[in-house]
Amino acid sequence: MPLTYMEHFLLQAEDIEATKDWYVDVLGFRVGPHPDFKFPVYWLYLGDRDVLHLTQGGAKVTDNRMKYLGQESQAVRGSGVIDHIAFRTTGLEDMIAHLKKHNVEFKERQVNDQGLYQLFLFDPNGVKVELNFDVSEVKGRKAEIMASDLADAAPN
């Protein structure tokens, strides 16, 4: 069940368009492909890697965002805008057994068009952690929520 690398972090922005433009124009990120989560999101890339994900933050997030990711902070300024950190990992069943052994609660999600199976959990400080596994590791498991099952939302 080794973690292999930090995959991305998600910022929740009050003005997702201005935030996207700043990272693209000022720091040289590029907007790239992302799954259809049925809520506003941008994935910003450096080279071939999506390393910064953006979504709407504040008090008026969509129902789909709340169902899929939840929201730990309504902050739109400061470090409270970081919703979660994500790691790529392997060994889904071993990780689930390990988390259960340590009494760590988690939620299971699946991103259909990305081939990812996800576990979301919280560290002792309340920081959300996303663990991403290749969907090939899923053997008879069914995520509580599949991104494709969320209702359509307005495109960004």
* Domain membership flag for residue 62: yes
pLDDT (tens digit, 9 = 90+) per residue, 62-113? 888 888 888 877 877 777 778 888 888 899 999 999 999 999 999 999 887 6
Q: What is the CATH number of the domain that holds 82?
A: 3.10.180.10
* Domain membership flag for residue 107: yes
- Residues facing residue 87 across a β-bridge: 6, 131
pLDDT (tens digit, 9 = 90+) per residue, 14-44? 888 988 998 888 778 899 999 888 889 999 9
More confident residue, 3 or 132: 132
* Domain membership flag for residue 127: yes
Instruction: Kindly tell me the number of DSSP H helices and DSSP E strands found in the chain.
Output: 3, 9
> 133 vs 85, 95, 104, 121, CA distance in Å?
14, 10, 18, 14
Q: For residue 151, give the 3-state DSSP assignment.
A: coil
User: pLDDT at residue 124 above 70?
Assistant: no
* Domain membership flag for residue 24: yes
Q: Tell me how far apart the alpha carbons of residues 58 and 63 are, in angstroms, rounded to a whole number.
A: 13
* Domain membership flag for residue 126: yes
- C-beta contacts of 74-81 below 8 A and 24+ residues apart: 75/12, 76/12, 76/13, 76/14, 81/11, 81/12, 81/13, 81/57
* Domain membership flag for residue 101: yes
* Domain membership flag for residue 154: no
Model confidence at 8, in pLDDT bands (50, 70, 90)? very high
This prediction's pTM: 0.67
What range does the domain containing 39 cover?
3-149
* Domain membership flag for residue 26: yes
Domain count for the chain, please give it.
Answer: 1
